[in-house]
Amino acid sequence: MKSEDLNVLVLNCGSSSLKYKIIKMPEEKEILWGEAERIGIKTAGKPFITHVTGTKRRVIEAELNSLDDAFSKALELIKEDTGEDPSIYFDIFAHRYVHPGKFFSSTSRILGKDIGKLRKTLELAPIHNPSSFSLIEKCSTDYTAVPQYAVFDTTFHKTIPEENRTYALPVKMIKKYDLHRVGFHGISHKYVMEEACRFLGVDVKTQKIISCHLGTGGASVCAIKDGKSIFSSMGFTPLEGLIMNTRSGDLDMGYVLNLMYSRKLSIDETEKILNKKSGILGVYAQSSDLRDVMKNLGKDVKADIAFSMYIKRIRKYLGFYSLLLKKPDIMIFTDSIGISSPLVREQACANLEFLGIRLDKDKNWNYPGGIIDAAGPESECRILILPTNEEVMIAREAYRRHKNDICH
């Protein structure tokens, strides 16, 4: 074992799930991974944990009434593995934490005094922050000897300049309520940025990048200049920007107000429409999954319209960002739709030659997996298809911070 070796236990939790992974740093080797699902839920199936070490895969049903239970079970399984193979262990915890507000501006080691600060952020991402917070709180009381780090989903966007960050609302209101573009998927955008530059052998500090994180649920496009985010399609919340599975994305607020007034809709009903019933689901009606839409192109007018709207919204940002960056050097497609759908990539890049973007048809349609440059030979912009890996980015960030903390 080299002195700089460090095993990072990455923790990424949702309201009913906990994903964990031990990553050996700095080589970024995955030692084990697992996922607890259906935490606190018992309907048809019981909660269970999938735990994978090397080639050994175990699926264990367990009483997982809370995130605490799931975490304890995961640690118990890891301990069993350590008994069999001493190289399986962890040195630090690294938590994915969505939105730290103004309290943290970069990956941070969380000490006892920071718990109070984190508590103040719960309302900023009310579905995601509380889960991560509860684990951090548990680790700070039950595992005091293990350093823990929080890696934030929004801090990559802290560099967005003021004119892109603020909204055209009364300045007093902006200040009073701290209204600004926050931007999300920061861990993913940063990962693909670093990987793209490493793959192309270029310095991240000299590149103009458009990163398209196109998931089956959420999606965002980020403009990156010289290694810094300068715009994100997601705003104060993840609702703004691209058309997503059930989210409308950009919308005329006048129409929303009109709808609330004329239909006597409450705030909650309106929010549910915008967040849960719109997007692909709203237009296509039969499914919220873009892949279902694509299967019915040419056969169903609603599918045609939904797909066209989805693509045009991406192109709106590609055009805007190309102007913002004065033509991109690199364009990246990532996450499930970004990786698996050549049609989306083709349509998104169609007729953008004037911006220096030319996709190679064969490379695009015959993507073999991994990282590839799918740009045509005459393209000024490299067009990368690049699977994201948020867990590695979280481990990387925590590792860097830990090393830095030790040195200072």
Ramachandran bin of 377, using left for φ above 0, alpha for ψ from -120 to 50, beta for the remaining angles: alpha
Shortest CB 231 distance to another protein, Å: 17
98 vs 193, which CB is nearer to another protein? 98
Q: Which residues contact 294 (CB under 8 A, 6 or more apart)?
A: 303, 307, 341, 343, 344
39 vs 210, which CB is nearer to another protein? 39
Of residues 106, 134, 166, 296, which one binds another protein by CB under 8 A? 134
Can you read off the two tokens belonging to residue 335? 């996450």
Q: Is 266 in the site for another protein (CB under 8 A)?
A: yes
List C-alpha distances in Å: 153 to 181, 182, 355.
Answer: 13, 10, 30
Of residues 1, 2, 27, 43, which one binds another protein by CB under 8 A? 43
Q: Within positions 151 to 170, which residues make up the interface with another protein, using CB under 8 A? A: 153
| Dist. CA 133–CA 97, nearest whole Å | 8
Shortest CB 117 distance to another protein, Å: 13
Q: Is 276 in the site for another protein (CB under 8 A)?
A: yes
Nearest to 53 by CA among 72, 71, 29, 70: 29
Pair 99, 152: CB distance under 8 Å: yes
* Catalytically annotated residue among 153, 289, 300, 329: 153
Q: Within positions 306 to 335, which residues make up the interface with another protein, using CB under 8 A? A: none
Q: Is 345 in the site for another protein (CB under 8 A)?
A: no
Q: Which stretch binds another protein (CB under 8 A): 2-10, 123-131, 289-297, 399-407?
A: 123-131
Q: Where are the beta strands (DSSP E) in 136-250?
A: 148-152, 208-214, 219-225, 228-232
Q: Which residues contact 270 (CB under 8 A, 6 or more apart)?
A: 256, 259, 260
> Is 153 annotated as catalytic?
yes
Of residues 4, 29, 40, 295, which one binds another protein by CB under 8 A? 40
339 vs 349, which CB is nearer to another protein? 339
Q: Is 137 in the site for another protein (CB under 8 A)?
A: no
51 vs 128, which CB is nearer to another protein? 128
31 vs 182, which CB is nearer to another protein? 182
Of residues 72, 275, 286, 296, which one binds another protein by CB under 8 A? 275
Shortest CB 276 distance to another protein, Å: 7
Q: Within positions 212 to 231, which residues make up the interface with another protein, using CB under 8 A? A: 215-218
Q: Is 283 in the site for another protein (CB under 8 A)?
A: no
Q: Is 126 in the site for another protein (CB under 8 A)?
A: yes
> Angle at which helices 342-349 and 301-325 pack, to 10 degrees?
60
Q: Which stretch binds another protein (CB under 8 A): 23-31, 54-62, 209-217, 343-351?
A: 209-217
13 vs 78, which CB is nearer to another protein? 13
| Dist. CA 178–CA 189, nearest whole Å | 24
Residues contacting another protein: total by CB under 8 A? 47
Ramachandran angles phi, psi of 140, nearest 5°: -70, -20
Q: Where are the beta strands (DSSP E) in 14-146?
A: 18-25, 29-37, 48-53, 56-61, 92-97, 108-109
How big is the CA angle at 239 (ends 290 and 115), to the nearest 5 degrees? 120
Site map for another protein, 62-91, x if CB under 8 A?
---xxx------------------------
Q: Within positions 228 to 257, which residues make up the interface with another protein, using CB under 8 A? A: 236-240, 246-247
7 vs 129, which CB is nearer to another protein? 129
Q: Is 130 in the site for another protein (CB under 8 A)?
A: yes
Q: Which residue has tokens 């549910």?
A: 272
**Structural Rg of the chain based on CA atoms:** 22
> Angle at which helices 112-119 and 129-142 pack, to 10 degrees?
160
**Secondary structure of residue 373 in the 3-state scheme:** strand
Of residues 84, 162, 163, 268, which one binds another protein by CB under 8 A? 268
Q: What is the DSSP letter of 5?
A: -
Shortest CB 219 distance to another protein, Å: 10
How big is the CA angle at 233 (ends 378 and 324), to the nearest 5 degrees? 50
**Known catalytic residues?**
153
Instruction: Name the residues that contact another protein, by CB under 8 A.
Output: 14-17, 39-43, 47, 65-67, 98, 119-120, 122-123, 125-128, 130-131, 134, 153, 184-185, 215-218, 236-240, 246-247, 266-269, 271-272, 275-276
